Amino acid sequence: MSEFENEVKKAEKELEQGLITLENEEKYTEHQSDEFLGEIKMQAQEYGKKVQDAAGKAYDYAKENLGQAGDKFKELTSKDPKELIEDAKEFARQKPGQTILISAAIGVVLGLLIRGGRR
């Protein structure tokens, strides 16, 4: 699980713990209501900051991985097709299980795309 997902789950748990139900609203005086609303406002601001922090981390993570993908794409486009085939064969020899899983995933995606195009 990524750091972003962990932060989101943590924020969700804190939000659930902070929520309370109001059974008899008539029992609350004006002062208690103002105090309660003040606490809610503080919690909302706190959760807003946590969401902003999590979004910032997600942005940084995506930006970093996009850069790595771009570098890998440039590396692949600079190679000769025969060299790419040899690299693929070598990978298949070293990791046959992963090769089968990758092939199956590609097949599923292509099947969905082709079948979706006929609808």
Convert the pLDDT of each residue in 17-74 to its tens digit. 665 555 555 555 555 566 777 788 888 888 888 888 888 888 888 888 787 888 888 8
Report, in this order, helix, strand and coil percent for the chain, each rounded to 5. 90, 0, 10
Q: What is the pLDDT of residues 84-111, one digit of tens each?
A: 899 889 999 999 999 999 999 999 999 9
DSSP letter at 117 equals H
| Cα distance between residue 100 and residue 107, in whole Å | 10
Structure confidence at residue 26 (pLDDT):
52
> Per-residue pLDDT for 116 more than 90?
no
Q: Considering the entire predicted model, what is its pTM?
A: 0.35
Structure confidence at residue 18 (pLDDT):
64
Helix, strand counts (H, E) of the chain: 4, 0
